[in-house]
Amino acid sequence: PQHKCGNKKSCPNYHFAFKIISGAANVVGPSICFNNEVLMSSVKNNIGRGLNIAVVNGTSGQLLRAEAFDMYSG
């Protein structure tokens, strides 16, 4: 069976599934999947170098904000 975000197991009831994949240098970009919805990825063109963060409402699962913070350039 397929599980949300491609995880190996299903989450318990009243829990959200998520998967965070870090990038590999500048070859493979990071991605964030939450409850079977890709929030950030190179396909969505909303990632950057540094920290890529998605803020999600813990009750509803609604995406509040997604942002990339470039820690290299200051």
| pLDDT, tens digit, 9 for 90 and up, residues 5-19 | 989 999 999 899 999
pLDDT of 63: 94
- Mean pLDDT to the nearest integer, 36-40: 93
Q: How far apart are CA 32 and CA 21, in angstroms?
A: 6
- Mean pLDDT to the nearest integer, 22-38: 87
Q: How far apart are CA 49 and CA 24, in angstroms?
A: 11
Q: Going by DSSP bridges, is the β-strand pair 63-69/18-21 parallel, antiparallel, or unpaired?
A: unpaired
pLDDT of 35: 92
